[in-house]
Amino acid sequence: MAKDQKLPSLKVAIAGLGTVGVGVIKILENNKDMIAARTGRVIEIVAVSASNRKRDRGIDISKYDWSDNALDFTNRDDVDVIVELIGGSDGIAKELAKQSLTKGKSFVTANKALIAHYGTELAQIAEDKKTAMRFEASVAGGIPIIKSIGQGLAANKINRLYGILNGTTNYMLTQMEATGKDYEDILEEVKLLGYLESDPALDLDGIDAGHKLAILSSVAFGVKTDFANVYMEGIRRIKLVDIEYANELGYRIKLLGIASITEDGLTQRVHPCLVPLSNPIARVDNGFNAVVVYGDFIERTFFEGRGAGEGPTASSVVADIIDVARDHTTPAFFIPVNEMKTTNPVSISDRFGPYYIRLHVEEKPGVIADITAALRDENVSLRIMLQKGSEQDGSVYIIMVTHEAYEKKVMNALDRINGLASVIDKALAIRIENL
């Protein structure tokens, strides 16, 4: 196109001006010419909305129209794309998504909770209205994992993936190991740094990672989003002793999301894992995310990058806006909703593999015999047992590594062990994943 010809514009309204929203504005303004050259369109911000107009965000928003209610964007003829960065699975975020798509406006979001709960429903509205819905930024921040799976790996049948999907908990586990501080101390530091979600349970209990895993499962396996059947377990019970003993045994502890699809159904689980030190994902530290995808022709592909923050997440949001500017209106999950499968969930109780078990017990005769009897009766055999030196209170840590066993058998044995009078703290079991 000649320089004197005016490029067509794509007009954008942004709902939510937190860290990511500010980052989106910076990218669209700072890289405006480059983006226009790459898309053949000028991406123009016409309106913004947030809860507090007067807050100092370090950028000038006075040149954009302001709305106290983001739903107003859906009635504007001069808005082509609505970007939702409010958060939350319900409330105004959900209503904004439905109204935007129903009125034929493209919708871009970083909201993993919204997509995990309502992604299939919203994708159907987008298809019916022949408009675009994009959510690259909802998973793994700056890693373009959704496009990589749905486009770059589109020629592959994918049947398995796993990854570190929450940067906050990965940071905490890394810092516990690096500093020798226990969970509670690192938790206080993370709170002061502002790394936790407004509801800390989203990070600490694996819910945030569960949202992301449900989205990845849909994109990778062509199944309807099924967050309700994601098994989730967080890091609250991990102690420094576990990290130290894991290292001694040749492992690191990582909170992983693991998904696979077989003839038996769909497995989706988030929980702490002992990962061999030789596995590349064991070396992904601090706020970084990583995803490993298995395809029938690529075998294994490894993605790593920052999982959150203004720059990485905003970059993914803008990439989605650019998709819209290029008139990419492929289905949100890369196949039509009516072709997405509904699968049976595979229960965590059906898992078969080895386990790390930590017990804190009174140091007295007969304790080991009682513990091993409970495991024996459930056909759980031990590969390793370590007894660490006495604590000042006369207690001792017993560390065990089992051979492969069914989850339900291990948990039955631990229920019995927890009932022993000599047990001080509830037994901790961490799944060992030889990925």
Query: What are 361's strand-pairing partners?
Result: 396, 423
List, as one string, the DSSP characters of 298-313. TEEEEEEEE-SSHHHH
113: which DSSP letter? H
Cα 345 to the center of its chain, rounded Å: 19
DSSP per position, 34-91: HHHHHHSSEEEEEEEE-S-TT---SS--TTSEEES-GGGGGG-TT-SEEEE-S--SSH
**DSSP tally for the chain: helices H, then strands E:** 13, 18
Catalytic residue among 94, 112, 212, 409: 212
Buried b (16+ CB within 10 A) or exposed e, 97-121: bbbbbeeebbbbbbbbbbbbbbbbe
130 is catalytic: no
282 burial type by CB count under 10 A (0-12 exposed, 13-18 middle, 19+ buried): buried
Residues β-bridged to residue 425: 360
For residue 226, count other CB atoms closer than 10 A to its CB. 18
Give the count of beta carbons closer than 10 Å to the beta carbon of residue 36. 18
Could you identify the residue written with the tokens 């069914």? 406
User: Quick one: how far is CA 35 from the chain centroid?
Assistant: 28
User: What region does 40 belong to: left with phi over 0, alpha with psi -120 to 50, or beta?
Assistant: left
Query: Among all residues, which ones are annotated catalytic?
Result: 212
